[in-house]
Structures are given as C-alpha cells and as structure tokens.
Amino acid sequence: MSWPVVISALVVALAATVFASVRWGVREIPFETVWEALLARDVSNPDHEVIWRQRMPRTAIGLVAGAALGVAGALLQGLTRNPIADPGLLGINAGASLAVVAAIGLVGVTDPAGFVWFAFIGGAGAAALVYAAATLGPDGPTPVTLALLGAAVTATATSAITVVLLTDQSVFADYRFWSVGALVNRPAELVLLVLPIAAVGGLLAVVSARFLDAVALGEDLARGLGQDVDGGRMRVLAAAVLLAGGATALVGPIAFVGLLVPHLARALAGISYARVVPVSAVLGPVVLLVADVIGRLLVRPAEVEAGVVVAFVGAPVLIWLVRHQKQVSM
C-alpha cells in the first residue's frame, strides 16, 4: 500500500472515529442534531450540551491518550526489539498505580484530577529505577536487562498494591474507578495538564525515529553508522516515559493499546520507524475511541469501560503474537 494511500485512509478513519465518538452513546442523539451542535451550539438544547460537555471532552481524552499509548508502544518495541513489549514493560503502569494507591491511602486524594501528578511521577519513577538498575549491569541497559528489571519492578509494585487494597477497603473503593482504565469520569481539564507532556514526548519520538531504524540493525552497526547509542536510548526512554506516564495518568492503566497499535502500524506502513511512529499516533486514538464507543453501545443504558473492551480484544491477539513470535518482523 502506497504511503499517500495510507495517510489518506488514516485521516478518514480518524475523522470517522471522532464523529462516531461524538455521535453514539448511552443517550441517543439524532445525526442531524450532532451537526447542529457542532456548527451552531445552542446552550438551551440538552442534546447540544451532552455533546459539548460530555462527549467532546471524552473524545479529546481518547485522542491524547490513544496517541500517547500507541507511540510509546512503538518506541519500546523498537528499543527492546521485542514484538510483545508495551508501555507496561518498564514498570510504568505499575509505578503509576502504586503512586495512586499511596495518594489515596496516605494523602487522602479522591478526585481523579488529583491523581494525575501522582500517577505520572510514579510511572516516571518506576522507569527511572529500571533504567538506573540496568546501567549497573556488566553490559549496561540492554533490551533483555530492561525487560527483566521492568518485570521485577512490576511484580513488586503489584504485590504492594494488593497488600494495601486487601487491608484497606476505603482505598480499594476509590482506586478501582481509576484502575479499570476508562475515558469517562475524567475532568476535561486533565487534557490541558497532560497535553504538554505528551507533546514533548511526541517530539522526542519523532526525533528518535531514525535512531530506532539504526538500532534495529544492531547496536554495533548503529555505532558504526555514527549513532550515539547510549544517548539515543535515553532519549527514547524519556519519550516513552512522558507518553506512557501522561496517558496512564489521564485514563488509568489501559493495557494492549500500546501492544496492538505498533503491529497494525507496521502492517500498514512497513518497518521504518520514521513511518511507524506517526502512523501509531493516528491508529492509537482510533483503537481507543472505537473501544470506547463499543463499550457505550454494548449494554446500554450502562457502559463497559474502554480498558475492558481493549483487553477483551487484545488478549487473544497477544496469545496469537506469542505463538507466532518468530514470524513477527521488527
């Protein structure tokens, strides 16, 4: 598939997904009313207010979080040369979750807006711990070392979270609403807090794309081509932490988006990260918003959170990837 065709298809898919996110939900709103609300808002019309105050902020959250998770997954898969890597690889999700539990249990934070900085700092701290520990190894922060240490940090943080939740039901009651991973019940102002973080991470990701293409050939060859492997690795990790940490702070620890999206991007755009990164930035919101819309429609008038829908689809795909790992091209 040619690159112009891919770009055109992605733009159409994203536009259609955004409109679907605004159009469909628990409350049935006619197609014509959606256009009227978008073109000429009437604050006295309850349908218009549902669109502007609920669905559009929810869609904006999905756009930012989906793009951040998709690109973070692509970066980590490229850096570790691991086709089943995702933003949880470095313990980012577990670190963010542990920080939220601490915020609820120790500080008494219950407002989702108050979780943002705790989640981001927790995710960034976990990734920094993994990288610092990896540098102490004889070969430095190799992909295998990062993956193993990330798994160790995740297991430790998860155990600590479990102990706290089992011993304090009040913490569990507040934590479970954030941990399920959803676009609903998130204040719209959170987008303004996370967007600058995600923008910096996205810029670093674009700058690092050529480095990832070089590292895919092997670190020794990358050095021979003049690449600063250590500096490039830190740049990629910084981008992944900013993106994944920001997205997790915004919508909770949603799994599988960062795993699935890079594979879809490579299927459409090839293996060059100069193309995989921007394509992942578009496919991420498409996947997350489609999951959110499906969750709204499945059990109306109730909802299924986007994180649950993505996991329901992502788990079989993960099993398929593990069984066909040798056939996955990085």
Q: Render each residue's pLDDT in the chain as its tens digit; 330 residues.
A: 678 888 889 999 999 999 999 999 888 888 889 899 888 888 889 999 999 988 999 999 999 999 999 999 999 988 888 777 788 778 888 898 899 888 888 887 777 677 788 888 888 899 889 888 888 877 777 777 888 888 899 999 999 988 888 887 778 877 877 777 788 877 778 888 889 999 999 999 999 999 998 888 777 777 777 777 778 888 998 999 899 888 988 888 887 898 889 988 988 888 899 999 999 999 999 999 999 999 988 877 888 888 889 888 777 876 775 566 544 444
Report pLDDT for 324: 61
Report pLDDT for 66: 95
Cα separation of 194 and 188, whole Å? 11
Cα separation of 242 and 258, whole Å? 14
Cα separation of 105 and 153, whole Å? 21
Domain extent for 317: 3-327
Report pLDDT for 180: 78
Cα separation of 19 and 231, whole Å? 41
Report pLDDT for 228: 78
Q: Which residues contact 92 (CB under 8 A, 6 or more apart)?
A: 123, 124, 126, 127, 240, 241, 244, 245, 248
Cα separation of 247 and 64, whole Å? 7
The total number of structural domains that make up the chain: 1
Residue 143 contacts residue 78 (beta carbons within 8 Å): no
Report pLDDT for 3: 81
CATH of the domain at 157: 1.10.3470.10
Report pLDDT for 224: 78
Cα separation of 16 and 159, whole Å? 41
Report pLDDT for 329: 44
Report pLDDT for 229: 79
Report pLDDT for 293: 92
